[in-house]
Amino acid sequence: MNMSFGSKNSKKKIKTEEEVQGLESYIRDFWRFLPLPVCYINPVNIILDVDEVFSCFSNYQPTEIIGEDLGKLFADSKKIEEFKKEILEKEIISNKELVFLTKDKKEIPVSISAMQRKDEKGNFIGYFLSLTDISESKRFQEKLEKEIEKKAADLKEKIGELERINKIMTGRELKMIELKEKIKQLEKQLKS
């Protein structure tokens, strides 16, 4: 009886271990696959995990950045402090623009998204944070803004020119009317 109970328990234990090992392998593969820089942060804003892409993006080895405060990774300390407060209140934050600081102090404009994690009782236990490099779109936006500015200046110049021509034409018209009036008066004088 006891042997059978022990054997059942042992089988159950082996099955659980296999499931956990499967989960371990799945988590490792998933973190390796993720094509975005992603990290996991605890409620006191300490980085507890990063994926490989995050490591390449930031130039930090996981062992260098895990255990550090999230604030170390962003240029504007005020904005990141605001973000830290915001994530305590919102379950999801999408596309917030910040400037990322790599290990070699290179500044990269990024859009960050974050999602809260909660335990079974609904307590906040940390959050996932992902980064999107928006340098290209920022450059494109700046180029577009400059082009728009240039076009607007060209247009302004052309409008000015038109206004000048219009003024000249109007002056000319008025002069013509005046002259016609004079001719009429002269004709009248001649007749009388």
Closest CA relative to residue 129, chosen from 102, 93, 105: 93
Using CB under 8 A as the binding rule, whether residue 4 contacts another protein is answered as no
Using CB under 8 A as the binding rule, whether residue 126 contacts another protein is answered as yes
Give the three-class secondary structure for 45. Answer: coil
Q: Which is nearer to another protein, 84 or 138 (CB)?
A: 84
Using CB under 8 A as the binding rule, whether residue 10 contacts another protein is answered as no
Measured distance CA(149)–CA(144) in Å, rounded: 8
Query: For another protein, which residue of 10, 61, 135, 141 counts as binding (CB under 8 A)?
Result: 61
Contact residues for 90 (Cβ-Cβ < 8 A; gap 6+): 116
Query: For another protein, which residue of 45, 55, 58, 130 counts as binding (CB under 8 A)?
Result: 45
With contacts defined by CB under 8 A, name the span among 22-30, 94-102, 134-142, 157-165 that binds another protein. Answer: 22-30
Burial 108-117 (b: 16+ CB within 10 A, else e): bbbbbbbebe
Give the three-class secondary structure for 29. Answer: helix
Token pair of 9, please?
A: 């328990």
Q: Which is nearer to another protein, 72 or 138 (CB)?
A: 72
Summarize as ranges the residues that interact with another protein (CB under 8 A): 17, 20-21, 24, 27-28, 40, 42-46, 48-49, 61-63, 66-67, 69, 117, 119, 123-126
